[in-house]
Amino acid sequence: MNRRKKIKQLLAANAKKASAKLAPKKKPTYISKADRLKLATESNQGSTDTPEI
């Protein structure tokens, strides 16, 4: 009984890990504060460079 239970636990754990890898990621990737500031300054510079008609 003990051996069967341990094998069943291992198989269940491996199946759970495999399904977790296939599941879509819900959490967005982390962007550091420096990168966020850099992106903000690039977007601000890009919007001011375009001439208005």
- Give the 3-state secondary structure of 1-44: CHHHHHHHHHHHHHHHHHHHHHCCCCCCCCCCHHHHHHHHHHHH
**Would you state the pLDDT for residue 16?**
96
Q: Distance of CA 9 to CAs 20, 21, 26, Å?
A: 16, 19, 27
**Would you state the pLDDT for residue 45?**
84
Q: What are the tens digits of pLDDT across the range 3-50?
A: 999 999 999 999 999 999 998 888 888 999 999 999 999 988 876 655
Spell out the domain ranges in the chain: 3-44
Q: What are the tens digits of pLDDT across the range 25-34?
A: 888 889 999 9
pLDDT at residue 52 tops 70: no
**Which pTM does this prediction carry?**
0.45
- Taking the CA atoms of the chain, what radius of gyration do you get in angstroms? 24
